[in-house]
Amino acid sequence: MSGTTLKLGDGFPKFHPELSTHVKELQALLKKWGYDIIENGRFDWATDSAVLHFQRKMGLAADARVRIGAGTTWKTLHQPLPIVLPGRSFKMDDSYAVPFINQFDQVHVKGAGQTGCFAASETMLRAVGVKQAGPANKYQIVTKETWKSDAPTHTFDATALAQGLAYLKGELSKGRPVMAGVSYSGEADHKGYNESITEHFVVIFDSGESEGTYLFHDPATATKIFGASRTFSMDSARQTLIAEGVPGQEGYAIGSRYFVTMIRKNEE
């Protein structure tokens, strides 16, 4: 496996489980350098964060990737240990079981930028070993949408809503986050993909404190206090989950109310 590059998600059952032994070897090396992480053979968020911290401390390219046997990060990890171990200054951000990753994160998100929400959402799932099952495997809650004076009129599939929420609750009870699509505007140039209704993706990762509410990470902003752990609640009039806009959103979604249009299934 020399020359293979290890990255976030590797070693989980859904993402190159054959690399688990090499991930565990990497984790053992990081522990020698003072990093307090678990040797579980899964390139999880803690391992990713430790690799990034090590790369920055050692003046290496900070890409959160490690090339087995050949890369500079791998070779540096095999050097003699310094008196002061860099891992001693490492502090893991474990605020949430599912990490918040924004769509402007050029390290973790392919195609980072205004259209990087789907890739960012996939990466958040990948960080905990979950893989969404593709566009055909979804509950399409909103089937038609028209906008007038910045207000939408939606046609809903009540069966898809009930089944989607039941599926969501089931996945969350297993500790598995779920990707959801949302709509937030009537501008046609934002809807040239998906089913011409959904224009943004987020990750629902837990139930909220109140009945019928759900916590989600919104990759639309690089400002964590605005994007992490937002709340969806049920709009009884519209019969879908909504979230009010927040000022910290960036780009297309600034201050916009979200309407959940679909719930994506995960691979089993």
122 and 228 belong to one structural domain: yes
| Whether residue 247 has pLDDT greater than 90 | no
Confidence of residue 237 (pLDDT cuts 50, 70, 90): confident
- Integer Cα distance of 142 and 259 in angstroms: 9
Strand, coil or helix: 258: strand
| Whether residue 190 has pLDDT greater than 60 | no
Percent of the chain whose predicted confidence (pLDDT) is above 90: 72
| Whether residue 33 has pLDDT greater than 80 | yes
Q: What number of other Cβ atoms are within 10 A of residue 166's Cβ?
A: 11
Residue 106 lies in a domain: no
pLDDT for 41-50, tens place per residue? 999 999 999 9
121 and 55 belong to one structural domain: no
Comparing CA positions, the residue from 32, 39, 43 lying closest to residue 79 is 32
**H or E segment at 146?**
strand 142-148
252 and 134 belong to one structural domain: yes
56 and 131 belong to one structural domain: no
Confidence of residue 152 (pLDDT cuts 50, 70, 90): confident
Residue 103 lies in a domain: no
Overall size of the chain counted in residues: 268
Number of compact structural domains in the chain: 2
Q: Which two tokens stand for residue 128?
A: 């905990």
Mean pLDDT, the chain, integer: 91
* Greater model confidence, 50 or 250: 50
Residues of the domain holding 43: 5-89
